[in-house]
Each structure stands twice: as structure tokens, then as C-alpha cells.
Amino acid sequence: MSTLTRTDGSAQHTVAQSLVLDRLHKTYTSRGKTSFEAVKGIELSIEPGEMVALLGPSGCGKTTTLRLVAGLETVTDGDIRIGATSVADLPPAKRNVGVGFESYALYPPLSVRQNLRYGLRARKVRDADQRVDTLAARLEMTELLDHRPADLSSGQKQRVALARALIRNPPVLLLDEPLSHLDAAQRQRVRRELKVLQREFGYTTIVVTHDQLEALSLADRIAVMDGGVIQQFGTPDEIFDDPANRFVADFVGEPNINLVDGVVQRSGGKTFVRVGDAGMLPVTATGVADGRAVTVGLRPQDCHTGVGAEQPALEGEVRVYENLLEFGQATVDVPGVDEPVVVQTPADERLAGGDVLRFAADAGQVYLFDDDSGERLR
Amino acid sequence: MATTLMPGQKRFTPSAILADLTLLAWFVFSLFPIVWLVLLALKTDAEQTTTYFSFSPTLDNFGTVLSDRGEELTSVDFPTALLTSVLNCAGAVLVSLVVGIPAAYAAGRWRFRGSNDLMFTILSFRFAPELMVIVPLFVIYNQIGLFDTTVGMIWVLQLVTMPLVVWILRSYFQDLPEDLEHAALLDGYTRRRAFVMVALPLVRPGIAAATLLAFIFAWNNYIFPLVLSESEASTVTVAITKFLGGGGQAYYNLTAAAAVIAALPPLVLALTIQRYLVRGLSFGAVKS
Ligand SMILES: Nc1ncnc2c1ncn2[C@@H]1O[C@H](COP(=O)(O)OP(=O)(O)OP(=O)(O)O)[C@@H](O)[C@H]1O
Ligand SMILES: [Mg+2]
């Protein structure tokens, strides 16, 4: 397989660069209306060649953050550094970042090939045609090169938009929902190829997504964002197994985490949390006062069944059982708990509605959150 | 062609026939003045006040209007007026485009202090009646020596053409996704080149529409050349009326012939520009 050459006419490609967002603020002000703070002091330190996923619900400021880094919005406060250089006051052209736009931003009168070349023309790259061909082959879009954007499906446009971002080999790559319109099979393939290209060329990358599977598969680290604030920044394992707060625990994980009321109870030097009328789960948190009311987070995947009667556990009647082939999923009514608790069960353990299920989780996987602030209690 | 029907559409339903007849009636009604004008232009002096449809048509009137004989009869140099009109209107539209396109772009892309007030001021040029401003303009033009000059006419026609250009093009620029220009900026193009190479070609249909409308409005303007020019910069709209003969004999047939000739330049412009107008509709490649 041929590779994309890194030597281009402008020769401005260097080794991978770090990207630092330093207490970044963005306030949108439109005259006559109240101003809106879309980004509230984001701190992110991204290693050279690292791929970070920005994961969060709609309207949390993901696109705004990308546009700040690209230079398409003015920074209200804070700094952005690529390598050792502060770029917060540089125009977009001088930042040398590649952006894959959510709206594709393809130029209608030009063919796909011309669109891709267009990005190279301003910088007078010499082997433009060869680069276009090579990249098109790797992104499975050679047959699209002679079409106009108007002739393409949204998934095809998205691949072209991705190619347009990659074609210049920018040291910093910003992708806004790059795969959202691809079908499932394409998405997996393009995702893999994107990952390979990113590794190969060492693009320092931020990819915006609200698909957590995409975040998990692509990213070295994930930044979970909500309300213009980074809620947690860490590896997928850290995000999943050690959530910083209730929002992160709730937002990440499929199926959703169970969040139920509980009361902390200490006995015999150990800490437990009482859930419902008679349920009891072990916890590792040591800094929580005896008798404090908390929110308990318990992932369906972390539950295990077959717990002895003498051990702390939850027990309840199965309301619904779903056989999902690789595993089962039981929805259990635990006495004294408002919401039914979802439990993932081993595939060979078939249940039916009305069965009584006793289940528990390891102490390290039972998370306690403050009732009001949602902060993790440890 | 005629056989392409919309799904579910029947060919000869009573309501379809009624609709067609109504359209036909409207067509005849709105076309009648033009037909009458052309007929009148083809009549001789003797027949010019008749209302017959059958007569022996002649092209003499066109010859008279365009030759010295017309000037002898009415002291109007119609060919020169025609040329003056073309110069005035082309000049006015050109100035409006050169100034108005960047203005429309700025107004469509950015909200700056006073941008709304500015846009409203430009629009207000259109709804202030010309008769209201003409007297002060006449005084000013006389004092600063712009009376009866081409520059003066082009300048005053900005009141007509500029609002059209700015307002039409502003909405075109607003409809263009900003990301297109942003992508160009990121590729290393300057703001100006992003404007020239990305935004401008995409609003070409808008420029065509604005050019055409502005030209027609400027062409049809009567009050400004009537009051602010005498002979040098006098236009067709004024010249046509002279054939009606202030005091002398009224030549209706010559007036009609002059009017028919005067209608040609906007028509030619419309036909030339037409393909740009239509092509704009087939882009639609930008997700909004
Ligand atoms: N130009 C603007 N003026 C005012 N408010 C804006 C502007 N652009 C974005 N916002 C607001 O800022 C917030 C964050 O917007 P942003 O586009 O960054 O969200 P997002 O996380 O990308 O959402 P999505 O997943 O839907 O794309 C939103 O509440 C939005 O309404
Ligand atoms: Mg977004």
C-alpha cells in the first residue's frame, strides 16, 4: 500500500505538536440580548500525536471549543498553545490546523477532486494530484472524485469532508462529528482507517462526537463535557471505571448506569451503603460519614449474580428479562427503590419475569455521589 | 413536455380548464397595453388616432424617431437620449455593484455597531418619494455644477439602484454557509481571497438578479432626468414624452415607436443574464 508523502512544497510539516487549552472561555454576545457563556474555562493538555474525543450532549459547547482552536471564533479569555506557540491571536491560516466541518463545507461548483486540490492550492503544494489519489484510495472514495458535492449522499460528503481536513497533513486535526452520517459498516471501516492515518502521521487530534462507542474506539483519552465545562478528562478506562461525578457516570456507559438513593452504613470497620428496604452493597469510599444519604451508582455490567445469602447484596423480583444472546438483561424491582434496577446476567443463566434475583457488585464498582452537587464521594 | 403531469393530476378536469381560462384572460389583459403600443407604433400619422386593428402597417415611425427627421419635428435627439440612458444606467448599476457587493457582504456576515441602522437608511432611499427630494437635489445640483451631467445622473440614480443591490445581495450572502469561507481561511487563503474565490462566485445568480432589477428601475426612472438634466444627460424616458409635443402637434405613433425602442435594452439585458439567474437554482449542494 502506498503511503501519503509528508514532503510537500511548503515543507511546513514538523513532528507532532502538543495542544494545550488553557482556561479557555468563550462568551457569545449578541447586541440587545443577554450574553451566553458557551465555554467556561476549559483546561485540556493534549500530548503530541494524541487523539482526544470531546464527548458530550448537544449544545454543551463542543463545536464552539473546536472553532476556538481553529481560530474561527475569538477567544474571550484564556490561551491556546500548539507546541510552544500561543495561537490564540493568530488568524486561522497561520495556525495550520485541519478541520472537518460538521456541515461538510464542500464547495458546490467544484468536483470532489477539485475540492481536495483547493485546500492544497493556497499553499502551493507540488504533488497535489498524487496526494488526492492516495488519500482517496485510503478513504474508499476514489469513485467519488469526479462527482460534484450535490451528487453525493451525506455519508459520502462526510468522507470527502474528512479527506479535505486530512489532505494538508496538518499537525493538528479537528474533526466535528466526522462519522455521524456513515452507515454502520462504513463507519467501522472509516473509523479504523482514520485511526491508522492518525497514528501514521501523528496528527494531534480532537474529535467531537456524541457517540461514546466512537469515542472509545478512536480516542486515547476522552474529555467528557457538559455545560461548557470539562467534567472529566481521562482514558476510556478511567472514565468508565472511575467516574468523577454523577454526570459522567450517567452519560458514559451503555446501558445506562443505575442511579438509586442510598444511606451510608459503617459496621465492623467496613463501609456499606443501604439501598431500599433490605439491600446492602459494599463500598470502598472511606471519607463519607455514617448515615449520610447519597446517590448510588451501579452499572448493569458490574453486577454479578449467584451471591450467597450471607453476603451483602440487592434482591428483587424480575419484572422483565431480555435475552440479548451474548448476555441477558434483567429489570429488577428492588423493594423500597423507586426505579427498577437493570442487571446484566450471564448468557447461560436464563431468567423469566417473576423470578427472584439476588445480585451485588465489587466494592470498587459501587460509586457514591453527593445528592446535590453530584460530585463523587470517595 | 405537455404530457408531463404531476402525480395525481388529471388533464381535463373542469377546475383545470377554468384555471387555464383565467390565466389566459389575465395573459391577454396584461399583454394588451403592449400589443396596443406596438400597433400604434406601426400606424401612419393619419391613422394614429384610430382604434382599428386593421390598417396598413409601416415601419416609417421607427425610422423617423431614430433619424434627424424626428429631431426636426420635436427638437428631441432620440438616438443620443438612448445612448445617454444606456451610459447613465450602466454607470449607475456598475457603481452600485462595486460599492454594494462588499457592503452587502459585510452586512450579511457581521453585525457591527450601527449595521441595522445603516441597512435601514439604505432601504429608506427606496421609500422616500422622489418628488420629495427632487427640489433640494435640484438646488444642490445647480450649485455644485452637477446639473445636466452624466456624473450627476449616475450619482442620483444610486438612490434607485444601491438599495436594490445591497438588499438583494445581503440575503444571498446570508444564505451562504459561513463554513465554506472558513474552510478557505484554514486552507491559507486570506479573507479577501476567500470572499473573491468562494463567496462571490456562489452569489452570481444574486448579482445577475440585482443587476437586472437595478438596471430596469434606473432605466424607467423619469423624475430625476426630467428635473436634473436638460439636454446633455437627458434620457429616453424624458425624450419619449417630447413626441407628445408640448404645445405643438402630438405624435402618438412616434411616441409609441420610441417607447418600443426604449423597451429593447432592458429586454436584451434580461435575455443575456437569464442563464445566470436559472443556474443558481441547481447548486444546492450545501447542507444548512
Ligand atoms: N454564534 C453563536 N451565538 C450565540 N450562541 C451560540 C453561537 N454558537 C453557539 N451558540 C450556543 O453555544 C452553545 C454551544 O454550542 P455548540 O455548537 O458548541 O454545541 P455542540 O456541543 O457542538 O452541540 P451539538 O452536539 O448539537 O453540535 C449552544 O447553546 C449554542 O446555542
Ligand atoms: Mg456541534
Average pLDDT over residues A348-375: 93
pLDDT level of residue A31 (50, 70, 90 thresholds)? low
Min mean pLDDT across A37-46, A235-244, A304-313 is at A304-313
Q: What is the CATH number of domain B70-277?
A: 1.10.3720.10
Q: Is any Cβ of chain A less than 8 angstroms from the Cβ of B117? A: no
Min mean pLDDT across A193-197, A325-329, B170-174, B211-215 is at A193-197
Asked whether residue B132 carries a pLDDT value surpassing 80, the answer given is yes
CA–CA separation, A130 and B187 (whole Å): 18
Chain A nearest CA to B200, separation (Å): 12
Please give the distance, rounded to the nearest whole angstrom, from the Cα atom of residue A64 to the centre of ligand 2.
Answer: 7
Counting ligand 1 atoms within 8 A of each CB, the residue from A36, A40, A42, A224 with the most, and so the one to mutate, is A36
Counting ligand 1 atoms within 8 A of each CB, the residue from A24, A30, A62 with the most, and so the one to mutate, is A62
Asked whether residue B232 carries a pLDDT value surpassing 80, the answer given is no
pLDDT level of residue B131 (50, 70, 90 thresholds)? confident
CB atoms within 10 A of CB A111: 16
Chain B nearest CA to A133, separation (Å): 19
Q: Per residue in A201-244, pLDDT tens?
A: 889 999 999 888 889 989 999 999 999 999 999 999 999 999 99
Considering only CB atoms, B177 lies closest to which of A31, A105, A109, namely A105
Give the residue from chain B lying closest to A164, CA to CA: B183
Ligand 1 site: residues with CB under 6 angstroms?
A 28, 30, 36, 38, 56, 58-64, 210
List of chain A residues whose C-beta atoms are within 8 Å of the C-beta of residue B179: 101, 103-105
Asked whether residue A6 carries a pLDDT value surpassing 60, the answer given is no
User: pLDDT value at position A46?
Assistant: 96
Please indicate whether, in this complex, the C-beta atoms of B177 and A103 are within 8 angstroms of each other: yes
Considering only CB atoms, A122 lies closest to which of B187, B201, B202, namely B187
CB atoms within 10 A of CB A23: 11
Q: In what order do the strands lie in the sheet with A356-360?
A: A304-305, A356-360, A314-323, A327-333, A341-346
User: pLDDT value at position A155?
Assistant: 82
Query: How many contacts does A have with B, using Cβ atoms within 8 A?
Result: 77
Q: Is any Cβ of chain A less than 8 angstroms from the Cβ of B196? A: no
Average of per-residue pLDDT values in chain A: 89
Chain B nearest CA to A150, separation (Å): 4
Q: Per residue in B233-270, pLDDT tens?
A: 788 999 898 888 766 778 889 999 999 999 999 999 99
Q: List % helix, strand, coil for chain B (3-state, nearest 5).
A: 75, 0, 25
Given a contact cutoff of 8 angstroms between Cβ atoms, the answer to whether B37 and B259 are in contact is: yes
Min mean pLDDT across A196-210, B137-151, B227-241 is at B227-241
Considering only CB atoms, A150 lies closest to which of B184, B202, B285, namely B285
Give the residue from chain B lying closest to A154, CA to CA: B287
* Domain definitions of chain A by residue range: 2-249, 256-377
Average pLDDT over residues B199-221: 92
User: pLDDT value at position A302?
Assistant: 94
**Strand-pair partners of A51:** A205
Q: In what order do the strands lie in the sheet with A366-369?
A: A279-282, A270-275, A258-267, A293-298, A366-369, A376-377
pLDDT level of residue B156 (50, 70, 90 thresholds)? very high
pLDDT level of residue A7 (50, 70, 90 thresholds)? very low
Q: How large is the ipTM?
A: 0.77
Give the residue from chain A lying closest to B186, CA to CA: A93
Asked whether residue A1 carries a pLDDT value surpassing 50, the answer given is no
DSSP labels for B153-214? HHHHHHHHHHHHHHHHHHHHHHHS-HHHHHHHHHHT--HHHHIIIIIHHHTHHHHHHHHHHH
List of chain B residues whose C-beta atoms are within 8 Å of the C-beta of residue A166: none
Asked whether residue B284 carries a pLDDT value surpassing 60, the answer given is no
User: pLDDT value at position B110?
Assistant: 84
Q: Per residue in A84-96, pLDDT tens?
A: 999 999 999 889 8
Given a contact cutoff of 8 angstroms between Cβ atoms, the answer to whether A154 and A180 are in contact is: no
| C-alpha grid cell, residue B156 | 442620483
Give the residue from chain B lying closest to A158, CA to CA: B287
Closest residue by CA, ligand 1 atom 4: A28
CA–CA separation, A203 and A92 (whole Å): 17
Please give the distance, rounded to the nearest whole angstrom, from the Cα atom of residue A57 to the centre of ligand 2.
Answer: 9
Average pLDDT over residues A17-42: 88
User: pLDDT value at position B105?
Assistant: 94
**Strand-pair partners of A190:** none
Please indicate whether, in this complex, the C-beta atoms of A149 and B285 are within 8 angstroms of each other: yes
Asked whether residue B22 carries a pLDDT value surpassing 80, the answer given is yes
Least distant ligand from the CA of A60: 1
List of chain A residues whose C-beta atoms are within 8 Å of the C-beta of residue B184: 118, 122
Please give the distance, rounded to the nearest whole angstrom, from the Cα atom of residue A67 to the centre of ligand 2.
Answer: 10
Q: Per residue in A336-360, pLDDT tens?
A: 999 999 999 998 888 998 999 999 9
Min mean pLDDT across A103-117, A150-164, A288-302, B233-247 is at B233-247
DSSP labels for A305-347? E---TTS--EEEEEEEEEE-SSEEEEEEE-TT-SSPEEEEEET
Neighbours of ion ligand 2 (CB under 5 A): A 63
Considering only CB atoms, B186 lies closest to which of A31, A99, A109, namely A99
Counting ligand 1 atoms within 8 A of each CB, the residue from A26, A28, A34, A66 with the most, and so the one to mutate, is A28
User: pLDDT value at position B91?
Assistant: 97
Give the residue from chain B lying closest to A150, CA to CA: B285
Please give the distance, rounded to the nearest whole angstrom, from the Cα atom of residue B175 to the centre of ligand 1.
Answer: 19
Q: Where in chain B are all domains bearing CATH 1.10.3720.10?
A: 70-277
CATH 3.40.50.300: does it fit domain A2-249?
yes
- Tell which B residues from 130 to 189 touch A, by Cβ distance under 8 Å: 177, 179-180, 182-189
Q: How many degrees, rounded to 5, is the angle at CA A176 between CA A40 and CA A225?
A: 30
Please give the distance, rounded to the nearest whole angstrom, from the Cα atom of residue A63 to the centre of ligand 2.
Answer: 4
Can you count the helices (H) and strands (E) in chain A?
9, 21
Asked whether residue A3 carries a pLDDT value surpassing 50, the answer given is no
Q: Per residue in A239-257, pLDDT tens?
A: 999 999 999 999 999 899 9
User: pLDDT value at position B214?
Assistant: 95
Please indicate whether, in this complex, the C-beta atoms of B188 and A30 are within 8 angstroms of each other: no
List of chain A residues whose C-beta atoms are within 8 Å of the C-beta of residue B111: 30-31
Beta strand A77-82 with A85-86 is antiparallel
Considering only CB atoms, B285 lies closest to which of A95, A106, A122, namely A106
Q: Which of A35, A64, A82, A118 to mutate to test the interface with B (most CBs of B within 10 A)?
A: A118
Chain A nearest CA to B214, separation (Å): 27
CA–CA separation, A363 and A292 (whole Å): 18
